[in-house]
């Protein structure tokens, strides 16, 4: 047990301090880009680009994809895509500085790595789908929304985390 | 009377106003040629300095990569030729004022030299393969004895090859983005940097990797300085240069240039290599691959954007 604890040791920053920095980052983002942060938007741009490459007619006729196709301009030419690139770079740097760069799956000792990955994938798919219905994810709708005191931001935040707390009960065995 | 109105001569498809003749194979060739020049330079330099033992990757496996790089690069060039059967004509003349002629001849000698170089290490690289033919064995013995002389010949040739990849473009006086004197040194430094990255990628020796990380870091700083020079030089230029520069700093190739060349291909790998030298653990493959991709994208941007730039009328 001692050993697994050592292996799953948390070497991250204090979450409240991280949240404080994130808040400063949002102010900075609004100042520089004139708009908020986002995360799921980069994935969406990637998906739209691939679909548009494979079947341009489909994106043309599809009400959802059509919104993001703008003639010559590639959907990848979007601030969120570059922001996501920067996030990957920053994450890699922070991992390097704290000596955490290695391939591993972090999971509860009670479940297998495969189970963790499958559940993460399902969760990610659900969240991505939900984010598109709600027109934004935790970063794009909740975080950026609340920072400009938008009602939708507060509602998103409460809906995302409220549902999380409710549903977590059924999946708690995967962690504790 | 204004005669110039009559003599327009401007209707030349694929050449004027935009050049549309050089595509990806040329960029690939310039990248591979530059990288090969970089590896040959380091292999020759360390052999001349009698420090071969410390850079085993640079002088053996990396030189095999050079053979592939040169071969693929030459195939790409050949593929791009419109009149493939006339390729031999490049070797019927030597024109000292033509970069293309310099390139053709230097490439020939560098390729032969590299093959001889790798052959001189044949028995060391493949200890189980014994050379049976006596003449070849004698040749190998001769080459091993004259390896330093070969290095002395290859060192300047590699520098010429590296510079030529840039001069080939900068000699076009009709393309303002290319037509600046920095491009030769810039491509040379970029080639040396990608060569060092390639050696890092294949090296298993801790000392060698550290050595080439340091060299690479210095080269990246020089390259960034040269890019700043290029931009500032154009910025201080005429309207033609300003318009050419606009493609890089506020036009079609801005994203490619700044995101993939400057940030992902130079600054980010430099930071990674820097913190690695400070003692943090970074998988070397990441900065090395980023530098290689950055080098290739840089050639693609320069070749494609350069063809769009033109003189104003």
- Judged by CB atoms closer than 8 Å, whether chains meet at B282 and A101 is answered as yes
For A98-137, the pLDDT digits (tens) are: 888 888 888 888 888 899 999 999 999 999 899 888 888 8
- Would B2 be classed as within a structural domain? no
Q: Which residues 7-66 of A have a C-beta within 8 angstroms of B?
A: none
- Judged by CB atoms closer than 8 Å, whether chains meet at B286 and A92 is answered as yes
- Report the residue of chain B nearest A98, measured CA to CA: B280
* Minimal CA separation from A138 to chain B, in Å: 26
Note the pLDDT of residue B17.
76
Q: Are B22 and B303 in contact (CB under 8 A)?
A: yes
For B131-187, the pLDDT digits (tens) are: 788 888 888 889 989 999 999 999 999 999 999 999 999 998 889 999 999 999 999
Find the distance separating the first CA and the last CA of chain B, reported in whole Å. 19
CA nearest to A160, candidates A171, A148, A170, A152: A152
* B268: nearest CB among A82, A89, A99: A89
CATH label of the domain that carries residue B215: 1.20.1630.10
Note the pLDDT of residue A9.
54
**Tell me, what's the ipTM?**
0.77
- Would B53 be classed as within a structural domain? yes
Q: How many CB pairs under 8 A join A and B?
A: 25
- B275 to chain A, any CB pair closer than 8 A? The answer is yes
- Judged by CB atoms closer than 8 Å, whether chains meet at B275 and A89 is answered as no
Q: For residue B268, which residues of chain A lie inside 8 Å, CB to CB? A: 89
Q: Are A144 and A37 in contact (CB under 8 A)?
A: yes
- Report the residue of chain A nearest B259, measured CA to CA: A82
Tens digit of pLDDT at every position of chain B (313 positions):
555 555 555 677 888 778 888 999 999 999 999 999 999 999 999 999 999 888 888 888 999 999 999 999 999 989 998 888 888 888 898 898 888 899 999 999 999 999 999 999 988 888 888 778 888 888 888 998 999 999 999 999 999 999 999 999 999 888 999 999 999 999 999 999 999 999 999 998 889 999 999 999 999 999 999 999 999 999 999 999 999 999 999 888 998 999 999 999 999 999 999 998 888 888 888 999 999 999 999 999 999 999 998 887 6
Which residues constitute the domain of residue B73?
A: 17-308
Q: What is the pTM of this model?
A: 0.87
H helix runs in chain A, sequence order: 2-7, 15-33, 40-54, 56-61, 63-66, 79-97, 113-133, 144-147, 151-171
- Would B5 be classed as within a structural domain? no
- Would B89 be classed as within a structural domain? yes
* A96: nearest CB among B259, B264, B282: B282
- A91 to chain B, any CB pair closer than 8 A? The answer is no
Close Cβ partners of B183 (under 8 Å, ≥ 6 residues apart): B166, B167, B169, B170, B230, B302
- pLDDT at A84 exceeding the cut of 60: yes
- A88 to chain B, any CB pair closer than 8 A? The answer is no
- Would B264 be classed as within a structural domain? yes
Q: How confident is the model at residue A1 (pLDDT cuts 50, 70, 90)?
A: very low
Our count of domains for chain B comes to 1
Structural tokens at position B72: 């693929």
């Amino acid at each position: 047990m001692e050993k697994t604890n050592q292996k799953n040791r948390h070497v991250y920053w204090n979450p409240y301090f991280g949240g404080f920095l994130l808040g400063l980052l949002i102010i900075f983002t609004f100042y520089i880009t004139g708009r908020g942060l986002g995360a799921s938007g980069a994935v969406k741009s990637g998906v739209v680009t691939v679909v548009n490459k494979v079947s341009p007619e489909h994106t043309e006729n599809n009400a959802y994809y059509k919104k993001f196709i703008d003639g010559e301009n590639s959907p990848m030419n979007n601030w969120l895509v570059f922001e996501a690139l920067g996030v990957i770079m920053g994450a890699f740097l922070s991992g390097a500085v704290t000596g955490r760069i290695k391939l591993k799956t972090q999971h509860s000792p009670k479940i297998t790595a495969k189970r963790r990955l499958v559940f993460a994938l399902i969760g990610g798919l659900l969240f991505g789908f939900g984010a598109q219905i709600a027109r934004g994810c935790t970063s794009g709708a909740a975080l950026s929304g609340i920072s400009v005191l938008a009602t939708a931001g507060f509602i998103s935040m409460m809906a995302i985390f409220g549902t999380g707390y409710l549903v977590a009960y059924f999946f708690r065995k995967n962690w504790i | 009377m204004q005669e110039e109105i009559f003599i327009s001569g401007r209707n030349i498809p694929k050449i004027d106003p935009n050049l549309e003749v050089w595509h990806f194979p040329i960029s690939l060739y310039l990248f591979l040629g530059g990288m090969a020049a970089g590896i040959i330079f380091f292999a020759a330099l360390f052999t001349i300095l009698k420090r071969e033992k410390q850079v085993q990757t640079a002088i053996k496996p990396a030189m095999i990569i050079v053979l592939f790089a040169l071969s693929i690069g030459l195939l790409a060039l050949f593929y791009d030729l419109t009149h493939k059967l006339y390729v031999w004509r490049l070797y019927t003349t030597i024109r000292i004022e033509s970069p293309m002629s310099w390139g053709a001849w230097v490439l020939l000698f560098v390729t032969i030299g590299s093959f001889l170089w790798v052959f001189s290490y044949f028995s060391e690289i493949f200890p189980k393969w014994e050379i049976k033919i006596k003449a070849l064995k004698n040749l190998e013995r001769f080459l091993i004895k004259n390896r330093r002389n070969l290095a002395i010949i290859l060192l300047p040739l590699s520098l010429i090859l590296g510079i030529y990849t840039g001069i080939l473009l900068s000699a076009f006086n009709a393309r303002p983005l290319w037509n600046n004197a920095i491009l030769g040194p810039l491509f040379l430094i970029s080639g040396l940097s990608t060569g060092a990255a390639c050696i890092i990628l294949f090296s298993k020796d801790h000392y060698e990797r550290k050595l080439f990380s340091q060299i690479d870091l210095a080269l990246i700083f020089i390259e960034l300085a040269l890019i700043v020079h290029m931009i500032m030089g154009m910025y201080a230029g005429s309207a033609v240069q300003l318009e050419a520069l606009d493609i890089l700093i506020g036009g079609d190739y801005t994203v490619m240039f700044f995101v993939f060349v400057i940030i992902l291909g130079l600054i980010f790998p430099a930071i990674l290599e820097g913190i690695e030298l400070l003692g943090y653990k970074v998988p070397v493959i990441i900065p090395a691959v980023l530098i290689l991709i950055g080098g290739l994208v840089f050639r693609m941007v320069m070749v494609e954007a350069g063809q769009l730039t033109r003189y104003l009328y």
